[in-house]
Structure 1
């Protein structure tokens, strides 16, 4: 009954915009515009350029994406469970960090752990220690950690105003992206420097957060453009579930620059950034300072070749995390070459890459250590994918990636997809894929003398079966439904030593199956009001009984809700005033109650260059917990955040 009352109150929040503009509910859909122009507007600089809600849903389906085939294709043609978060979606969400912006994707599970830490996954295995099967890429740079296979979200952020789009794939991406793209891929794409000429300043403050950003860009002669930026943030402390202060407040700064040139048929991008964050080790609520710092530089060259497009890319990434008595350092060098071309009925993409990671970890004597303290890891890959037109509207995709890595050796990751474009534009597709997650340093090198020893841990593997349907049955309605069935083998377990019991070791004795549905839809109530909804379900089958083969009860499976529901309303009350309402209902975890929450944003475009906004977050619950992590999990309550953004 308590959840029903909350749900009813949340539903009222969604209906309010319609009451305010009831006279528009029978309006016609926006007039069609040029689809290519619509795609270009994603990278625009002003309010009119960003406002994708003025485009029809049919036009939005033609926005180009690159994540599914690693080459440009229309969203409507992509045979995968892919959801696109646009720049306009991010702006109207009022999000102040990248993980908060990712809440917009209905095919992701986002659990906030504390002031800066998040657990984010697709199709299961979520949790601070277990969300290690999702690959995250920022402008072509992989950011998963070889220490734990997860993403340290407190070290990875972007200036949200410069994000062009975020492409979220739920389902394996191993054939193109390799190991660790086991359950999905998040591809974050920032704008070209040509789309950010001028100056932008933003500042916002609330009872929990403070954030600011300054970016300036200009032309580089007639053939190029550049931008430079600096941003900072402060995250207020959260509360322990019992109500006491968590002492986990954090602050940080980030600065970077990007340049893009076009010379004849050649296109060149050079970008880099540095960051320095101060966070807290908050398991004990003492707020012990931790320094997280680093930087990266990336170069990319693209040109036509042999009737296709050649891309050469290289990057260097430096990461440091310093806690009292311990220091983690990681230096990554990565180089790759990719060629996409069309040969009659065949659309080919192929490539090769090599990565070297120098990893170092020092810890106080007498506790757990990594043995050896320093390792050089390598990862070499070759991939090819062919989209074959079998008949009009019928496409077969065959792809595979071959990898060789330092820990588990050779990996073969195949993929087969069949897509049928029905008359009228609907897309029906199915896929069978094999994916894997390679071992990390903790799984292979963690040692606590007499209790735990480094083990011969191998890769976890999965075979995934998918079926999807995407359609625009009318100019005002679109939807996507995707079902999956995954079979996991060699999952991480904790095993004993025969006879002596100790030391323990990490092993691959776990098995599990999962199945469920990802679905989302959008409906244009009127030219000024769009409603969206999304749902994801997950059912798991595994043996959680502790045995001598696994005394942990397969804790590596994580802790996921059986379902989550997202609802969103984007309403232009007037030409200058916006009202955005977002609701999320998340089912219970194993030891945490489910919750229903609402975020509401009111935006006012004072002029074409000046925007003010006020965002209320977590407006329904007094306080709620989002993770089942009993050590790190913190509670979050209502907050208000006001922001100003000006362009000149």
Structure 2
């Protein structure tokens, strides 16, 4: 991190913005409207006395990574109002991850469990920030792909295997570590993941890859081309995954149910198209289409078996961007998403209709501009409608009053102001006003101050408010509990709420890059509709939790060819644990990982990753000590490795890689006592360009 003679609020940011815009990476979920109400809340902070200031804002961190997702402004990571982890293409490749969800094990504070969903809707991974998992669906984190929300409306959370995306098409992933409702609204409750795909201009030509290994196989073909001002990319892939072993190697009970793993085989076909048309020097039109489909299994022994079940998901998105003077930008984005599950569910009572569908339509507008030399503002609005149909999963097959489509409507306005008070002091302030058809209107503000103590050391202090709106599942069950024959006087369900305060440090000591964070989060109105005790207590917003902890990540070169990255997180939770909903032990005492990469020469590269996590709370109140299942899932550790060689094959760039996951062949449980991960998994990957 060397000083420069540039101006960070102009020269450095202008270079960064031009670079990212030329790569078409500035494609965040971009609400807007002609409503100036919220914008006016931030305008008083703009001090005209600073309009000509900051001409000597030199020195600050020319080589600091630039992020897009924290406030919807392009910012060096040390000027963002929240902590952000960036997973670039090289990091993703070095991880050797098979599923996209596995990549997030590298993020400080992130908890990932393999195929942890037994609710028969899907067999998928759980990805959760700071634990707080009371069901196998992690529903308190927003996930975006190129600014398009893939947060599921039915149960909340994300169905990772159903996303229409191939890992090799990802340019980078930005993880906002902390609430960000000020920028992305409800459901950005604990964190935000923004997955940014590669622009077609960066993927010209053709490539093909084949992976084959233990119970797994995948083929991917990609072609990028250009015609006049149009650049485009097409990706097609097919993946077969036999999932977990059929039997649990170390069952906690000899009862047959606890000795068998879940049905989780998958056959996934993906097709993607992305195009960009340069209309003129200022205007660009981008459009995307994606599809994910194929047969899936989900269910458990002696309970439900899914038969004739297929998944079919697709989206269409169009984004118009206009570059304005002074590095401003106006974007208008619209997209349609549709997810379908077709299947029959069979149990001892017969066959039930397992069909489900979810549709989302959204329109966003966003405007970025600089009213003074010391300030930048982004503001905008969004409107959205979700339609969900799932009679079996919502328990309404026999209830004509509830049967049919369930609608969820949302509208929001937001604004964020970045103000360089002086060269070493930066203020970010913003908020969102959001109204939804389930819980009404909420206001979620944020305030953060970044102080560049020296060019190599920055301290951040921030406070924000966040909410999580009920899922369709939770809203329907509120209607059930408030029926005349149940608890008609039950208070209406309210959104979950969070007050989050964090103190962060970003800097460089010698050659070591450091990112350290202390957090203090207060959660209230936590929703519980599954526990029968909730209505009797008079409230579906079942509990509160106070979470305190730390996160650390450092990156350092051991030599010119060897680099190490280490991440550590931990903390504790205090909760009233009302109605049997237990949050107290939901945050692991520690969770850390170590990555070592080595570039042997121009052809050979290797990586070794070690993961370890302390014991975690068993995700159920139905544990039974008499059958050998305790309150906790014991801690675990595993080791992954990758070795690759690049060379020319018949004049074509080619890479061959060997990946081994869980080298020690450890059979441990994640999240539940009936969820044992596979043992050692090895595969060979061959990729060539032509």
Q: Secondary structure at the match of 2:321?
A: strand
- Find the residue that maps to 1:624 and give its secondary structure: coil
1:486-507 deviations in whole A, cap 9, x for unaligned? 0111112359999xx9889870
Query: Could you tell me which residue of structure 2 aligns to residue 213 of structure 1?
Result: 220
Q: 2:271 aligns with which of 249, 255, 273?
A: 255
For residue 141 of structure 2, what is the aligned residue in structure 1? 134
- Contact persistence 1:495–1:504 (CA under 8 A): no
Partner secondary structure for residue 538 of structure 1? strand
Q: 2:99 aligns with which of 97, 100, 114?
A: 97
Structure 2 residue 419 is matched with structure 1 residue 388: yes
Specify which of 605, 609, 615 is matched with residue 578 of structure 1: 605
Match of 1:201 among 194, 208, 214: 208
Contact (CA 8 Å) 2:71, 2:81: kept in 1 or not?
no
Instruction: Identify the residue that residue 11 of structure 1 maps to in structure 2.
Output: none
Residues 7-86 of structure 1: pairs in structure 2 closer than 5 A: 61-86=63-88
Confirm or deny that 1:536 pairs with 2:577. Answer: no
Q: Provide, for residues 160-207 of structure 1, a one-character-per-residue CA deviation record: whole Å limited to 9, x for no partner.
A: 111110001110101010000011000000011100111111110111
Selected match of 2:525 from 471, 490, 508: 490
One of 376, 386, 392 as aligned partner of 1:347: 376
Residue of structure 2 in register with 1:146 after alignment: 153
Determine if contact 1:148/1:441 at 8 Å carries over to the other structure: yes
With the length of structure 1 as denominator, give the TM-score of the two structures.
0.85
Contact 2:78 2:450 in 1 (8 A): no
3-state DSSP of counterpart to 2:103? helix
Answering whether residue 316 of structure 2 is matched by residue 314 of structure 1, we say no
Whether the aligned pair in 2 keeps the contact of 1:348 and 1:385 (CA below 8 Å) is yes
**Is the partner of 2:474 in helix, strand or coil?**
helix
CA distance in 2: counterparts of 1:346 and 1:423, whole angstroms: 21
Mark the runs of 5 or more structure 2 residues left unpaired by the alignment: 3-10, 24-59, 118-122, 252-258, 345-352, 618-631
CA distance in 1, matches of 2:576, 2:665: 34
Aligned counterpart, 2:461: 430
Quote the residue 2:319 is aligned against: 300
Other-structure match for 1:230 = 236
Q: Greater share of strand residues, 1 or 2?
A: 1
Q: What does residue range 175-574 of structure 1 map to in structure 2 within 5 Å?
A: 175-221=182-228, 223-239=229-245, 240-241=247-248, 242=251, 244=260, 246-262=262-278, 263-284=280-301, 288-289=306-307, 290-305=309-324, 307=326, 308-324=328-344, 325-344=353-372, 345-363=374-392, 371-446=402-477, 447=480, 456-474=492-510, 476-493=511-528, 507-544=540-577, 550-551=578-579, 553-555=580-582, 559-574=586-601
Using the TM superposition, name which of 257-266 and 71-80 deviates more. Answer: 71-80
1:554-612 C-alpha deviation (Å, 9 max, x unpaired): 24778442210110001012221111000000110132111110001111112371000
Deviation at 1:362, TM superposition (A): 2.0
Cα pair 1:601 1:615 within 8 Å, conserved: yes
TM superposition shift of 1:107: 3.4
Q: Distance in 1 between matches of 2:369 and 2:322?
A: 12
CA distance in 1, matches of 2:336, 2:585: 32
The TM-score normalised by the length of structure 2 is 0.80
Map of 1:21 onto structure 2:
none
Q: Structure 1, unaligned stretches of length 5 or more?
A: 1-28, 45-57, 545-549
Cα RMSD for the two superposed structures: 3.0
Change (3 A) 1:359 1:343: same
Residues 192 and 424 (structure 1), Cα distance of their counterparts in 2 relative to 1, 3 Å cut: same
SS of corresponding position for 2:492: coil
The one-character-per-residue Cα deviations of 1:425-474 (angstroms, maximum 9, x if unpaired) are 32110111000000111111134897899972110000000110000223
Whether the 8 Å contact between 1:419 and 1:428 is mirrored in structure 2 is: yes
Distance in structure 1 (CA, Å) of the matches to 2:210 and 2:431: 46
2:355 partner SS? strand
Paired residue total: 591
